[in-house]
């Protein structure tokens, strides 16, 4: 549970960092407008890739948690049935 919150916070910090970095780059850019745009496009692409990777990781973790939950639910159901058979039988 803490991992999910931590990943969300990391992603929010990353996005905030990209926005601040882009703003600073625009304000203090020693390059021409064309070079600055290319730089920002490159940084934005890196950001998109990192967000896509984070989303894939979140989906993978979600699937793992789902499978673990199903296993636990199956075990609990089995124990319940065993207990019912002991009491009733």
Tens digits of per-residue pLDDT, 31-70?
677 887 888 889 889 988 988 998 999 999 999 999 999 9
Q: What is the pTM of this model?
A: 0.49
Q: Could you list the residue range(s) of the whole structural domain that residue 27 is in?
A: 2-88
Number of domains in the chain: 1
Rounded CA-CA distance 89/82 in Å is: 10
Rounded CA-CA distance 30/4 in Å is: 39
Tens digits of per-residue pLDDT, 9-30?
788 888 888 888 877 777 776 7
Rounded CA-CA distance 83/80 in Å is: 5
């Amino acid at each position: 549970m803490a991992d999910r919150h931590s990943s969300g916070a990391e992603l929010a910090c990353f996005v905030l960092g990209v926005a601040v970095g882009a703003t600073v780059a625009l304000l203090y850019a020693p390059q021409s407008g064309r070079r600055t745009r290319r730089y920002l496009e490159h940084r934005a692409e890196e950001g998109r890739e990192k967000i896509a990777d984070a989303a894939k990781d979140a989906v993978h973790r979600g699937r793992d948690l789902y499978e673990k939950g199903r296993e636990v639910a199956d075990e609990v159901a089995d124990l319940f049935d065993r207990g019912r058979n002991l009491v009733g039988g």
